[in-house]
Structure 1
Amino acid sequence: MDFNEIPYDWLEPATLLEVKPNYSNTGILPYPTKALLVGHKLATGSLQPGNIVEVTRAEEGIALFGLGSIGAEQVAAFRKANGTSPLYVTAAADAAGAVKASGTITFVGAVPQATLLYFKIAGRPIRFTANPADTVSVMAAALAAAITADTANVVTATSALGVVTCTARNGGELGNGIDLRVDAAASPVPSGLTVTVIDMAGGAGNPVLQTVLDVLANTWFTDVISPWADATNMAALAEWLRVRYQATSKLDVHGYVAKRGSYGGLGTFGMLTNSPNLTAMGLNRSPTSPWVLSAAVAGLCAFHLTNDPARQLRSLVVPGVEAPAPADQFTDSEQNLLLNKGICTFDHLSDGSTVISRIITTYKTSSLGILDRAWLDIMTPKTLSRIRYDWSAYVSLQYPRSKLVDDESSAAFASRFDDDEDAGSAVVTPRRMHASWGARCKLYGEKVWIENVQATVKASVFQRSSDDRNRLESRQQIKIVGNLMVLAGSLEFQV
């Protein structure tokens, strides 16, 4: 027997019982899901760069990042999709010299009668009443006033000579993804009036994400959302994720980033990285801003993949994300090609909502440049992270101070349980550790995270190092469960 509290040479008559847990039959250990949202702040936001705080309510993002900031919208989007997972936020301000994106809405003509004109600015509904006597300057001023009245909007607006100029509150490339449009679905523009929209453009100079990542150091996070999709920040994020996933780090974290773009633009975006730990996504001309899309999807992933890391996310509605117009939606063929370029895909319902089709990673090729689907779906790294965390935590609990001996040694024989994982933890052998692995795999199989449990456990190997008697080495095999993604059949009629 091994005791932690009772001395072996205690002679005074007594009944001594030390109380301690036995972890041999413990179930799957709780997974400490913890999401981090990197938000783009305004000067009015109270959160200083370098600080990390927990957020429980959507409205907290307003104070932390500033009313009308991108960061505030990110927080609201995550919390709309996920109200329970722990969410922490950190901030970055505009880069020095950042240029703010701008776009225009131009009025020409007049309305034949009093008409309510509908617009969407950054996905937010804006409307005003135009009268027959209104000049284009009056209408432009009315729209600018309506936009200005929406103080939570991510743009400001001014007008002159029938032209409304919308300018992003935050500087940088992100502003180029803000959508400006006439809301023709709510009400078409009446005859006699023409409204021309010039998309937001000209934004330049994103914050440096690496500065934010350096602050995180060894802090545990399972999901991180970044709003910046430029090549430099994407590369920095992919490398940071890679290092944290290594065996010596064991700080598994998955990244999410989105971009607004056409098929060609998103394809180029997906090819920027080749990471099994990074998910990239985008829509073509959705009224919803891309940082809302990434935060909402990350919220769904954090919730559902904590419940079951091996189950696909298809058909889940992405709250707060509006579908592009039918003409701007990708075809099935384009969706398939985007998946091959590392971009997630979405479907759209008749009510204008957006649902997940397939959430993948940007991993496409091996280190030798060979096409490889080993890490295609997000469920693969998420399931592996969950199993690695559970196994590591279990071994730490079950064998915290164990001595290591060979299977056939006298010490192993003396323990009498050298092939039983329920044995005491003072001595461990390769065979006993193998038995523990088999027991954990049985649980993973019952959760349907893995399949072919008996075969993979049998194929697993545990052996003592020939060079270091304190080192137990293993090659642990698992087969992650599949998901029904494609049903390919031949429908044959008899003649």
Structure 2
Amino acid sequence: MSETIALSFEEIPYDWRVPGTYVEVRPSYTNLGVLGFPARALLIGQQLAAGTATPATPYRITRLDQAKRLFGAGSVAAAMAEAFLAANTTSDLTMIGLADPGDGVAASGSLTLSGTPGASGVLALYIAGRRVPVTVAAGAALNDIAAAIRAAIAADPDLPVTASGTLATVTLTAKHAGAVGNQIDVRLNRLPGEATPPGLAVAITPLSGGAGAPDVGAALAAIAAEWYTDIAVAWTDSANLLALTSELAARYAAMGRLDAHAYAGLAGSFGQLAAAGAALNSPHLTLIGARASPSPPWAWAAALCGVATFHLANDPARQLRSLALPGIAAPAQADRFTPTEQDLLLRDGISTFDVARDGAVRLSRVITTYQTSPLAVEDTAWLDVMVPKTLSRIRYDWSGYVSLTYARHKLADDGSPAAEHAEAVVTPRQMHGAWAARCKLYERQGWIEDAERTVAESVFQRSASDRNRLEARQKVRVIGNLMVLAAMLQFEA
């Protein structure tokens, strides 16, 4: 005769005497697949006073015109929204705008015209990657051409600058006060076939002199209890990056439970990017840098965030190589980093990209800024962005599975009578078995490899000092990616 199992009911009293049939309905999670992952992106950018948004307040964004209205046309925040939505229109997107710093200084630059156009043509001016075409008539006066340029700039509210000046000079002033204005690229004739009308010369003085940045801490405080999986920020000064990486580390910790990964863009020479990356060391921050790209760094950050949010939610262990950053303008051929420079940048925490024949910017290797252990020993454990993303996904799934399956279970020793006969009891061995089953699922998903070995090396045990505590060391081996194929091609001489 089989022994009786003590069944545990949630809704039916154990001593109910009224006749009838009473049936509880509850789910079984025995064959539960991977839990859905709620990917949520957050963009933090600078807003203009013309925007209707309250600074440091989260807004859920579904349309570009909504972002322009909230943060102001031509703002850094609106440009970030445009870049993100060009790359990803399906992920849940929230944005926070921060006002210009009160003591900020706006960057300025200029266009100085000279000569006389000997033929009609179109002057193709580009500001922050946006094309501003100006028709020039043969023999036109410089004052008239300059006035036409100022009018064309004023006609495009999405440009990040305003235009003023007199005679043959056009003064460009960043709409934002702050160092962001120094990163606004101004150039002529970017596309094949574009050329300044013969006889006309335009001298460009790049925007400079911008100073100051908002405090990203105000935005982080606004989301203190909210979970966002991917965050893009517009500023890369040391103070803001320190605040950001400290927040990310706290969120990723066991007691934080708000895992997030952040993205930021840099503009500068090879040396400047290498120095900026080498000064950082966070497994939760990704920097991507370019030299002399028409697109501003905050657009790079937002586009990368959009791509990563979508694809790493679909498969956190799969590299992002070859994926395009839509709408991001590639640097000119002479400004692109060589393979050797790319390799060195990857050793300094800077992610890299390639440029396809059609001019599309395609990701090469997306890494974190983590480079050394806490004891300053070179360490590649957290090199690729897939590592923290995969571990976040596994932790989320395992925590959710345990919460669903063992929400009200009691804890007993292996082999105890309660473990054998009671229904709502779990033991270290049973939890180890559940971990083994989930690892097999993770292995089939292509997140980890060699699950049998890692499960065998995992340990589950009851605490010696707290009978209500189950302790575990759970081993996983994150799957690799095909980054390099090194081969020796031999031939017979």
TM-score per shorter chain, which class?
over 0.9
> How high is the sequence identity, in percent, across the aligned residues?
49
Partner residue of 1:371? 378
Structure 2 residue aligned with 1:402, among 409, 421, 426?
Answer: 409
Kindly provide the amino acid, as one letter, of the partner of residue 49 in structure 1.
Answer: P
Contact 1:238 1:273 in 2 (8 A): no
Whether 1:62 and 2:62 are equivalent positions in the alignment is no
Offset of 1:138 from its aligned partner? 2.3
CA drift of 1:189 comes to 2.3
1:346 matched to 2:353:
yes
- The CA deviation at 1:241 is 0.3
Residue pairs, 1:163-202, within 5 angstroms: 163-185=169-191, 186-202=193-209
Note if 1:79 corresponds to 2:85: yes
Q: Would you say 1:439 and 2:446 are equivalent positions?
A: no
Matches within 5 A, 1:382-393: 382-393=389-400
Are 2:42 and 2:228, in contact at CA under 8 Å, matched by a contact in 1?
A: yes
Q: Distance in 2 between matches of 1:435 and 1:409?
A: 17
CA contact (8 A) 2:136 2:197 kept: no
Partner of 2:282: 275
Which of 462, 480, 483 does residue 482 from structure 1 map onto? Answer: 480
CA drift of 1:344 comes to: 0.7
* Aligned match of 2:4: none
1:128 Cα offset (Å): 1.1
Q: Is the 8 A contact 2:349 2:371 kept in 1?
A: yes
Matched, 1:117 2:115: no
Aligned to 2:135: 129
CA RMSD of aligned residues (A): 1.2
Could you report, residue by residue, the CA deviation over 1:442-487 in whole angstroms, capped at 9, with x for unpaired residues?
1101100000011111110000010111110000000000000011
- Inter-partner Cα distance in structure 1 for 2:8 and 2:287: 51
Question: 1:346 Cα shift?
Answer: 0.6
What is the number of residues matched between the two proteins?
486
How far apart are 1:184 and its partner, in Å? Answer: 4.6
CA distance in 2, matches of 1:39, 1:189: 34
What TM-score, normalized to structure 1?
0.96
Deviation at 1:39, TM superposition (A): 2.2
Whole-Å separation in 1 of the counterparts to 2:178 and 2:160? 13
Which whole-Å CA distance do the structure 2 matches of 1:5 and 1:252 have between them?
36
1:420 corresponds to which residue? none
Aligned to 1:218: 225
Task: Report the alpha carbon displacement of residue 414 of structure 1 after superposing the two structures with TM.
Answer: 2.6
Deviation readout 1:410-468 (Å, 9 max, x if unpaired): 212334xxxxxxxx4x1010000001101111110110000001111111000001011
1:234/1:272 contact within 8 Å kept: no
Partner of 1:47: 53
- For residues 224 and 190 of structure 2, the distance between their equivalents in structure 1, rounded to whole angstroms, comes to 48
Shift of 1:194: 2.1
Cα distance, 1:214 vs structure 2: 1.4
Does the Cα contact within 8 Å between 2:58 and 2:222 map onto a contact in 1? no
Letter in 2 for 1:493: F
* Residue ranges of structure 2 left out of the alignment (5+ in a row): 1-6
Among 291, 308, 322, which residue is 1:284 paired with?
291
Structure 2 partner of 1:262: 269
* Preserved CA contact (<8 Å) 1:227 1:257: yes
Residue number among 200, 210, 213 corresponding to 1:206 in the alignment? 213
Q: Tell me if the contact between 1:222 and 1:252 (Cα under 8 Å) persists in the aligned partners.
A: yes
Once the two structures are superposed, residues 60-106 of structure 1 have per-residue CA deviations (whole angstroms, 9 ceiling, x without a partner) of 11111011111111111111110000001111000111111112222
What amino acid is aligned across from residue 74 of structure 2 in structure 1? G
State yes or no: 1:248 paired with 2:246: no
Q: Partner of 1:303 in structure 2? A: 310
Name 2:326's counterpart in structure 1. Answer: 319
Q: What whole-Å deviation, never above 9, does each CA across 1:124-164 have from its counterpart, x for those lacking one?
A: 11111222332332222221211111111111111323222
What SS does the aligned partner of 1:393 have? helix
93, 98, 104: which one aligns with 2:104: 98
How much has 1:380 moved relative to structure 2?
0.5
Map of 2:165 onto structure 1: 159
Amino acid in the other structure paired with 1:23? Y
Tell me how far apart the structure 2 counterparts of residues 369 and 407 of structure 1 sit (CA, whole Å). Answer: 43
Structure 1: how far apart are the matches of 2:26 and 2:55? 44
Q: Distance in 2 between matches of 1:64 and 1:123?
A: 22
Stretch deviating more after TM superposition (464-473 or 44-53): 44-53
Give deviations 1:180-201, integer Å, cap 9, x for gaps: 0011534122442222212221
Q: Secondary structure of the residue that 2:344 maps to in structure 1?
A: helix
Q: Deviations over 1:196-239 (max 9, x none)?
A: 21222111110011121112111111111110111110111010
Name the counterpart of 1:11. 17
2:469 alignment partner in structure 1: 471
Normalised by the length of structure 2, the TM-score is 0.97
Unaligned runs of 5+ in 1: 416-423
Identify the range of structure 1 (452-461 vs 139-148) with the bigger mean alpha-carbon deviation: 139-148
**Cα drift, residue 282 of structure 1:** 1.5
